[in-house]
Structure formats: C-alpha cells, structure tokens
Structure 1
Amino acid sequence: MLASSAWRRGFGALADVNVSFDLTCRHTQLSPFAKFLSKHPDIPVIVDHLGSPVLGDGHVQEVWLDGIQALAALPNTFMKISGLSQAGSHWSTSSIRPLVDQVLGAFGSERCMLGSNFTVEKLTSSYNAVWMAY
C-alpha cells in the first residue's frame, strides 16, 4: 500500500473527513508505516492486534518491538490489544503477557484499547479465555 501513490493520496484525504484508520499489518511493516504516518499527524491511527507479533523468535520480536516503539512515538497512534491468536495459535496468558506489557509500556494505558476479534479467536480459544486473559 505504501508504494501506491493513489493509496497514499486516499489516506491523506482521511483528514478531510475526520475519521480514523485501523492498521492491520505484519510486524515487518510497522516501522515503514510509522515513517509514513509521521507525515500525517492529523489522522488518528489504531494499530490492530498488538501489531501482529510472532511468539518465540527473538529477531522477529526485535523487529516487532522497534516498530511498536516507532508507532508509539507518534501521538496520533493508538493500540488495540486484540487478535491474541495472531501471535501464536497456542498462546496463553503467560506467553502473551510480555507482549501486552511492552505495548502498554510504549503506548501507555490511555492510548490502548481492548478488542476480542472473537470470530477469528474462536478457532484457537473460547470467548471466556480471551476475556479472562485480559
């Protein structure tokens, strides 16, 4: 999307209609999006699903965390703590806690929100398990 001039123009037009943008992307795309979003401070952006971390791989975690910190540095970005199964289909409260702690540390609780993403989450857990994890 970032390579498309038409998409970039369309994104910029969001400021004219006073709406927010939900960003769902891979962890490798977080930093490039942060660079792009820094040029659009008037458009609120909600990063979905913890920024799509992947459990277990140290290098991947570094890439994810760098992107999270770059996005959190922008005052117009917010984090939706949701999509826990995207981090790993066998996630648990203890495996997801460090990711949530890092997101809360970066964005602060005032710029975070919860979401269930339950239609997808029910493939790996119950509704009760997701909310109990929160």
Structure 2
Amino acid sequence: MPDDFPIVDAHQHFWDLERNYHPWLCDPEPIAFRYGDYSAIRRTYMPSDYRVDSAGHRIVKTVHVEAEWDRSTPVAETRWLESVAAEHGLPSAIVGHAEPDRDDIEEVLAGHAASPLVRGIRHKPAAAARPDEARRGAKGSMDDPKWRAGYALLERFGLSYDLQTPWWHLPAAADLAADFPATQIIINHTGLPADRSPEGLAGWRRALQEVAARPNVALKISGLGRPGLPWTVEANGPIIRDAIAIFGVDRCMFASNYPVDRLAGPFATIFAGFRAAVADLGEAEQRLLFHDNAIRFYRL
C-alpha cells in the first residue's frame, strides 16, 4: 500500500473544554473508563491537534462520533460541530447522540437530521458488565419496546445507527437488525473484545458471527487498546484478521478513535498496525478497509 494512500478516519472526536460541557472530561470526579486512567486526554482537542497527530497520513475525510456531550442538549453538539467544520474543514460527517427511549426522541432526531453533515446517531444501550450477567429485555436495552419505538424513527429520518455495546449483547443487535432491515447498523470498536482469554475471544467470535449474518450490519475496527498495555500488531493483528474474516472486507472499516486511543498508542503506530495486519490483502481490498467502505456507509 503506497504511503499516500487515501484514508477516511471513520471514528474520531473533537472537544473544546473551555466552551462546552462534556461531563466525563470536565467533572472533577473521573468515570470508570475501559482504558483506565484517562487524565491525559482531559484537555481540549480540535482539528489542529488531530492534524498534528495524523501527520504523515493522507486523511481525506473524517467522521466525528458524538463525544459524550451534555446529555440534556445532544443537538447542541451537532450545531457546534457544524461551526468547527466550517472553520477547519473537519469533520466531514457527524454521528450525533440520541437516546431512543427519551420522550422527545423525535424532536432530537429532527434536530440532528436538519444538519447536512449528520449521517446517524450513536447510543450505548443498557448493558451488563459481564457475559454471564447478560439478560434480554432490560429497560433501555435493544429489546425495550420504548427504546425500539424510538429506534424505528431512524428510517424516517434517513439515519444510521452506530452501536457501542459489549459483544455479549450482539445477539440482541442481530435481532434488531432483522426487525429493522432498512436501518444500517455500524458496530463500534470491533465489538469490544477486551477479554483476550481463549474463552473470551471464542465468545466474541461467536457473537460477531451471529450479528454478521444480518446484511445491514457493518463493523468499525478501532478501540483495540487495553489498560496499561501498548498497542501492538502482535496483540491486535489476530483480532483484526478474525473480524475481517467474519464480516468480510466489504463491511469493515478502520478508524483511529482519536484522541481516546492516544491512551493506547500513537496514531502512526495504530495505522501502521492496521496496515501490517492486512498486508497480505490486495490493494483494492485494503482500499475498501481504509477508504471506500467508510465513504459508502457514511455517504461521503
């Protein structure tokens, strides 16, 4: 793959902590975070910072995914990002936040959909902390009738759904995809394979296989960091190759998750790892993973 290969970064974040309220970044008390200590990213991060981090890579477009903005005003993040894009040329598209079971979900979706940059929404449904605690039908989950009633509105507004959930809830996602076949689902962060034990990875693979059977589901390969450990292709290459084998090269896309994944490794290390993991694929297949699929799924 040539060094000037065009890349669409399908998942990144900006925040201005002097102007806007992101509780997890602004509040004195940190949250429990899957990468552990995240104090290093509790500072403003804007397109100029992203361009420094991604220097040496031909980033042609980016997709901004909601960054845990104040949940009382989700559409305000979209309006702010429109101004950022107008001034800085990034992001190229937006995935806003919406809780499908909130009472004013139709108004929130209409607010997002009014932006020409918005392609979809992200929401993290109610989830169990461990596979053996997973139960179907919980309030706020993908099975909840009120949640599903809000989700059903995505088709009317022409919006896709970015799903971030532990892999043990992907069977519910498979049913959601089957029941709403016109809505594109994009699974975030490789289905969160945090448990790298043989048993954990076997469960992750089974869950991916179940949801990959639905043609309206795609996968973002990103978010592969682990607390206190560096990002290495030795650790993450097998995960990447398994994910692509399950979903196929036409339904996967690479993404930085920057600046969050700065906690796992430099931008260059992560993208070099992506490239090394798929070095045996032809250039056309690599182009799908790094560029073309994101263009298609996010309508860029």
Structure-2-length-normalised TM-score: 0.42
Gapped runs of 5+ residues in structure 2? Answer: 1-140, 275-300
CA-CA distance at 1:33 after TM superposition: 1.6
Distance 1:131 1:41 in 2: 32
Q: Distance in 2 between matches of 1:63 and 1:32?
A: 15
Contact conserved, 1:116 with 1:130, CA < 8 A, in 2? yes
- Give runs of aligned pairs for residues 1-134 of structure 1, distance below 5 A: 1-85=141-225, 88-89=226-227, 90=229, 91-134=231-274
Asked whether the 8 Å contact 1:50–1:103 carries over to 2, the reply is yes
CA contact (8 A) 1:19 1:43 kept: yes
Root-mean-square deviation (Å): 1.3
Q: Does the aligned pair in 2 maintain the 1:31–1:66 contact within 8 Å?
A: no
- Does the CA-based 8 Å contact 1:46-1:80 persist in structure 2? yes
For residues 172 and 200 of structure 2, the distance between their equivalents in structure 1, rounded to whole angstroms, comes to: 15
Amino acid at match of 2:162: D
Report Cα offsets for 1:14-51 as digits up to 9, x if no partner.
11111110010012111222122211111001011111
Question: Are the equivalent residues in 2 in contact too, given 1:34–1:67 (CA < 8 A)?
Answer: no
In our comparison, the structure showing a higher alpha carbon Rg is 2
Give 5+ residue unaligned stretches, structure 1.
none
Per-residue Cα deviation, 1:54-82 (whole angstroms, up to 9, x for no partner) = 24212211221111101111100001011
Q: Take 2:154 and 2:196, find their aligned partners in 1: how far apart are those partners?
A: 37
Aligned residue type for 2:268: N
Distance in 2, Cα, partners of 1:84 & 1:31: 21
Report the TM-score, using the length of structure 1 for normalisation. Answer: 0.91
**Measured at CA, do residues 107 and 132 of structure 1 come closer, stay the same or move farther in structure 2, by a change above 3 Å?**
same
